[in-house]
Structure 1
Amino acid sequence: MDANALGGGGRGRSGNDQTSRNNDSNDKNKNPVQCNYKLADPQPPAGSLDWEGHKPGDGAVYVQTCQYLDSALTVERMGWSTELPQAPAVNPAALAQQAVDKMRLLGPDIASPRAAGRYTVGVPMWMWVHRSAETYGPNTASASAGGVTVTATAKVSKIVWQMGDGTSVTCNGPGTPYQASEGMAQSPTCGHVYSKTSAGAQGGKYQATATSTWTIGWQGGGAAGQLTENRQSNVQVAIGEVQVVR
């Protein structure tokens, strides 16, 4: 498409020009998945703004239709060009984001600590999560346009726990489920020891959060890359003191 081809100067059609302008500030809409062009039929009358100062017979007016990352959003506009513009190559990175948008990526499915549990100051707490495609991965989806297919696969690479007592714990895995045979041992993969009770916290419990980082690898259309997404879950943790029986 040469410098005289349909471009940013094209005027919206059927009232869609306002939509097009509003979306110029939206990064994802700057990278359409696919654009198609066709000759406007009938051609606009002489003097129409769609001619961009040219006269009928000097080139022609074409209709550009672009589909963006949100598959429900299609923007159409008209503009003048010396010849039928060529559709740009499909953007694999945009297709990758479209594939990610198809996935249901959730926050961690916290198994421990439990909201109904009661834990003790100084006693090692073992933290772990249940694993599924939606809460831990792998989670895979594909998106296609213009004969190009991109496949993305997401998996949680780490979980950062904010314990509610001002401390943070980063776990590079789902954690290890506690077994009674472990006694007072600390978790080998993901754990925490509270140094004070939650009596002074709101509701008498610490407000803990677990934030998972989804690492998403994609490939297709002769390209490959990586994306990240974050998701969060919450749990309230009651921490008490050891009760001494006399």
Structure 2
Amino acid sequence: MLAQRALDQMVLRGPEIGIVPKPGGLGLVGMPVYMWTERGPETYGPNTASASAGGITVNATAKVKKIVWRMGDGKTVTCTTPGTPYKKSYGKRPSPDCGHRYSQPSLAGSYHVVATSTWDVDWQATTGQSGQITQTRQSAVDIRVGELQAVGSG
């Protein structure tokens, strides 16, 4: 019960989604997609809180164990890191730890990308008891992916 009270004091959010192509922009079929989350106590951890009652204190620490990205094209990508933000200097290289490539354009206008963080909350009581609580949080974003058409002259 005290572990749950400590958890209730924490603000655990879904990933603060970073993605290239950016929402509002246009990505291309076959080009690397980079996915990441900002690293903060509310979006990736660690996040800590305590609760006390009757002379017993519980300390809890929450950290993201994994992020599962549903890419909107029927594929999922599981990342065990926060991901790497894209930089122009990376060019066409794929993400080193959390990426995807679309094989089809987003014909319905956009792909709805849903990122689900799995938080592991480890707790320890001053009585020596300990345990773990698992929580999930979601965020979503829409991105557009098109096809580059080559036009021949002749």
TM-score (norm 1): 0.59
> Equivalent residue of 1:157, what SS?
strand
Is 1:110 aligned to residue 14 of structure 2?
Answer: no
- CA drift of 1:156 comes to 0.6
Q: Could you tell me which of 44, 50, 54 is aligned with 1:142?
A: 50
- CA drift of 1:244 comes to 3.1
> Equivalent residue of 2:132, what SS?
strand
Q: Could you tell me which of 116, 136, 141 is aligned with 1:211?
A: 116
Structure 2: runs of 5 or more not aligned: none
> Equivalent residue of 1:187, what SS?
coil
User: Greater strand share, 1 or 2?
Assistant: 2
Is 1:97 aligned to residue 4 of structure 2?
Answer: yes
**How far, CA to CA, are the matches of 1:243 and 1:129 in structure 2?**
32
Aligned-residue CA RMSD in angstroms? 1.2
Find the counterpart in structure 1 of residue 106 from structure 2: 198
**How far, CA to CA, are the matches of 2:151 and 2:15 in structure 1?**
38
**Count of residues paired in the alignment:** 150
**How far, CA to CA, are the matches of 1:131 and 1:116 in structure 2?**
23
Find the counterpart in structure 2 of residue 171 from structure 1: 79
Structure 1: runs of 5 or more not aligned: 1-93
User: Greater helix share, 1 or 2?
Assistant: 1
Q: Give the share of equivalent positions with the same residue, in percent.
A: 57
Q: Tell which has more relative contact order, 1 or 2 (C-alpha 8 A, sep 6+).
A: 2
Query: What amino acid is aligned across from residue 175 of structure 1 in structure 2?
Result: G
**How far, CA to CA, are the matches of 1:243 and 1:235 in structure 2?**
26
> Equivalent residue of 1:127, what SS?
strand
> Equivalent residue of 2:5, what SS?
helix
**How far, CA to CA, are the matches of 2:10 and 2:89 in structure 1?**
39
**How far, CA to CA, are the matches of 1:123 and 1:134 in structure 2?**
31
**How far, CA to CA, are the matches of 1:107 and 1:193 in structure 2?**
23
Is 1:237 aligned to residue 123 of structure 2?
Answer: no
Query: What amino acid is aligned across from residue 53 of structure 2 in structure 1?
Result: A
Larger Rg over CA atoms: 1
